[in-house]
Structure 1
Amino acid sequence: MVGREGRVTGTVGPGLVGEVMVSVRGGAEAFLAHPVSPEETIEVGTVIVVVEYQPPRTVYVARALGS
Structure 2
Amino acid sequence: MGDEDMIGMTGRVTGTVGPGLVGEVIVRIRGGAEHFLAHPAPGSGPDRLPVGTVVTVVEYLPPRTVYVMAAYDG
**What TM-score range do you get, normalising by the shorter chain?**
over 0.9
1:57 aligned partner: 64
TM-score by length of 1: 0.92
- Residue 43 in 1 paired to residue 46 in 2? no
- Which residue of structure 1 aligns with residue 9 of structure 2? 4
Aligned residues: 67
Q: Residue 13 of structure 1 contacts residue 38 of structure 1 at CA under 8 Å; is this kept in 2? A: no
- Percent identity reads 67
Structure number having the greater helix percentage: 2
Task: Determine which structure has the larger strand proportion and give its number.
Answer: 1
Larger Rg: 2
Contiguous gaps of at least 5 residues in structure 1: none
C-alpha RMSD over aligned residues? 1.3
Structure 2 unmatched runs, 5+ = 1-5
Query: Normalised by the size of structure 2, how large is the TM-score?
Result: 0.84
